[in-house]
Amino acid sequence: MPPGGGYHGALNHVVIHGLDVTMPLEVPRRSPDETIRVVLDDLTEGGGHAHFGTGIEGRSLQATDLDWSHGSGPALRGAAEDLALVICGRTIPAGRLEGKPL
């Protein structure tokens, strides 16, 4: 088992760092919907966002490209990959998310 978070931690690491490279190059996400859903669940319900100092409490996060959402309150909507990057404290190009920033 990989250290520091086990299999989920390793999956999150690979997906997020892959997005770090593909997003600026405007290459579409290659992770299957179920994979990015697991990553989003780990970052939200699993508390992974705390590692990045991102506050998601009192917010609704809604993916526009797959059936996934988390929380309640003012909504932040966008592609699953963009939500994952923002939850991890990354900056994404303007206009890719709809709603008040985290």
* Pairing status of strand 60-63 against strand 75-78: parallel
| pLDDT tens-place string over residues 32-62 | 999 999 999 999 988 887 778 888 999 999 9
Question: Which tokens belong to 68?
Answer: 């996934």
Exposure on the CB side of residue 48, measured as CA atoms within 13 A: 25
**Mean pLDDT of the chain, nearest integer:** 91
- How far is the first Cα of the chain from the last one, in angstroms, to the nearest whole number? 33
Of the candidate ranges 1-5, 57-61, 89-93, the one whose mean pLDDT is the lowest: 1-5
* pTM of the complete model: 0.91
What's the pLDDT score for residue 48? 80
Query: The sheet that has 97-99: what strands, in order across it?
Result: 69-70, 60-63, 75-78, 97-99
